[in-house]
Every structure is written in C-alpha cells, then in structure tokens.
Amino acid sequence: MSKARTKADATILICDDDEILLGLVSQTLKKKGYRVIETEGGKEAIEAFLKHSPDLILMDANMPEMDGFETTQKIQNLSEGNLIPIIMITAWEDDESVKKAFNAGAVEYVTKPILWPILLHRIHLQIEAHRAFAKIQNQNEQLNEEREFIEDIISFLRKSKSFEPHGINYLIDPVEKTTGDILLSARRPDGTHHVLLGDVTGHGLPAAIIGPTVASIFYSMTRKGFSPGSILNEINLDLHTKLPVNLFLAGSWLALDATRSHLEVWCGAMFDVLIFRHGKLFKKIPSKNMALGTKPESTFNMIVNTIAVEKGDRIFAYSDGIVEQKNSDGDMFGQNRLIATIIRYIIEDAPLELLKKELDEYRGEVEQEDDVTVVEIIC
C-alpha cells in the first residue's frame, strides 16, 4: 500500500537577495517540515532548479542583475512543459507588476509584509495541485502506451494474408491509428469475388475491436464457398450476440462472379453503392437493409440487388466519412460532389488518392471528422 506524501517529501527553492528575509522564510518553512534550498540571485536560482527539481519556488521580484520576472520566465522555459509552481513575493502591488508576474509564469502573487498563514496555505495548495497534475500526466502517458500496444495488436490482427488486392482499388484514411472502417476482399473457390466495406458506429478502439472478428468469419466462410447471404447472416448473429446495443456494423457487400458480368449488392445502413459506365453515373443502389448486429437472426431480413454489369463498369462503395465531412462553413462534402469527383477521376484516369486530395481541399483547416474508406471494383 502506497503512503501519502508528506511535507518532508516537498522541496521548496527560495530566491531572495535580502539575506534577512531569506533566512526568515527558510526557517519558517523548515519548521513546517519542508526541505529548503536558498539562493540569492536569478542565475543561482536557475542552477538550483536544474540540479534539485524543486516542488515549488518562492521568487523575489526585485533583485539586481536578473530580476524575479526574468528568472521566472527562464525557469518556466526550462521546465519542458511541466510548469513549476512559482509564487512571486514583492512589495509592488500595482496592476502592471501583477500582470507581468503572471505573464512570466508565476502562479501566485504575494505582497510584503508577508502574512504567514496565507503564504503557507498557498504553498500547500500549489504543491498538492502540482503533484495531482503530475500524477494525471503520468497516468495519461501510461494509458497512451497501453493504447498504442492494443492498437498495434488490433492492426496486426486486421492485416490478413487472405486479403485479395487484385481487381479492386481502395483508399483508407482513418482518423486514428485504428480505424472503425473495415475493408475485406477475398475470392470463393468458384472465382466469385467478395468485398465487404463496413463502418462500425464511432471510431477508435471500441469500433476497431470488431474488425478482426468480422474478418475471421468473412475469410473462413468465403474460402469454404458460402454465399453472401450465409456469411452476412453469420456476421449479424455474431455481432448481435456479442456487442452492446450501441455498437453495430453498417456495410456494403459486393459479390462479382468469376466472369465479372454478374453483381450482387447488399447494402445495410450505408450510402448508395454507385455504378459508373462510360464515364457517367449508370446506377445508384440504395440501402434497403438494417445494419449488421441490430437484429437477431429470426428478424434479420436481407434484400440483395442482382445487376448485370459490363466490362469496364466501375463500382464504388464508401463509408460516410467522405460524404459527411464538413468545411469551414459547416457544409458537407456530399454525395453529388463525390459523384462529380469520381467522374473526373475516371476521365483523367487518376489514382484514387484524387478523392482524398479533393476532400482535404474542401475541408481546409477543419479537422477530419471520421474514418474515410472508398473501394472500387473494375469489371
């Protein structure tokens, strides 16, 4: 069991060119149980700060050569973001001096003559506050290290050797290291190409955890030759059984047969799947299904569109991160702008990164709000 830290654990650095006041403050603090370091000038205080890393500094404002304001600012510049609590002690009470002290990095401003109960109380509060902040920082660093470790595990699990890159183009741009979007691609033994683009509610670790489970079902059942309906039913049942009610998987399923002339599309709580022919929008396939994981097996109805496609047709599925991205005016990128960008991409025979370039230019200084995933199948 850890013990509570005491005053004897705290070190206070005093900087004052008045030897009498320096001795008086030092003796008072030592009687209260603090460790004390005495310095009589700014340069000496900076050297003592670097050597002893005190918990708090009492700084006289009016000193020769280097005054307390300059000394305070230099010490805070050396604190590497972990600002040390510095209490300025001075006879000056004007607003300009007070403002100057706080701008330099002081946390308190105490005027002479010193009222000891008030000073001792402020010292105690500042030390405890600084320790609490340091503890929170350490905990955050530990959490970030653990998060990175988990992210690396999830990223490793998501990178399946079963992923089939041939016959598709894709763009993945997550908000965080681990994305809530899922992109899976594999072929059945009969040559049918299965592609699933999924978008888990939210993003980050909770959303990313779903990915490896869905991927395992997708690849194992595709490898065994199961139909899209069977695979989607199995994913839905698994997610509905295991996930809390606020997590589910929206998705677009594309199944292109071996001759690349027959397309099956399932779309659940996603934007339209888009088919382009001869550089123009040929067909929109809207979502007619619930997201995966929202309904038990007995009520999970599946509507699949079957479409004849031609050689050269381009089929696009995408997560909502691209169409719902806003610019500085609060306007969304939108599906119409996406369609126009895809047409330009096809006509110019450009890389799929063109979509990301257009999106980045549209949002400008606005931060990316959600994971962006786009997949294209060329017939």
pLDDT value of residue 164 = 92
Asked if 308 and 259 count as a contact pair (C-beta separation under 8 A), the reply is: no
Instruction: Indicate the pairing of strand 11-15 with strand 35-39.
Output: parallel
d(Cα 13, Cα 56) in Å, to the nearest integer?
A: 6
pLDDT in tens, 201-237: 865 666 667 888 898 999 999 999 999 999 999 999 9
Distant-in-sequence, close-in-space partners of 145: CB < 8 Å, separation ≥ 6: none
Q: Tell me what pLDDT residue 150 has.
A: 56
Beta-strand relationship, 86-90 and 56-60:
parallel
pLDDT of residue 375: 96
Residues 10 and 292: their CA atoms lie apart, in Å, by 57
Q: Report the C-alpha gap between 263 and 19 in whole angstroms.
A: 89
Residue type at 353 in one-letter notation: E
**One-letter amino acid of 77:** N
Residue 299 makes CB contacts below 8 A (sequence gap 6+) with none
Biggest alpha carbon–alpha carbon distance for the chain: 95
Which domains are present in the chain?
7-138 (3.40.50.2300), 160-378 (3.60.40.10)
| 49 neighbors 13 (Cβ within 8 angstroms) | yes
DSSP secondary structure string, 173-242? E-SSSS-SEEEEEEE-TT-PEEEEEEEESS-SHHHHTHHHHHHHHHHHHHHTT--HHHHHHHHHHHHHHH
* Residues in the chain with pLDDT values less than 70: 1-8, 146-160, 177-179, 202-208, 298
The predicted structure's pLDDT at residue 208: 67
pTM equals: 0.66
pLDDT recorded at residue 94: 84
Output the pLDDT for position 323: 96
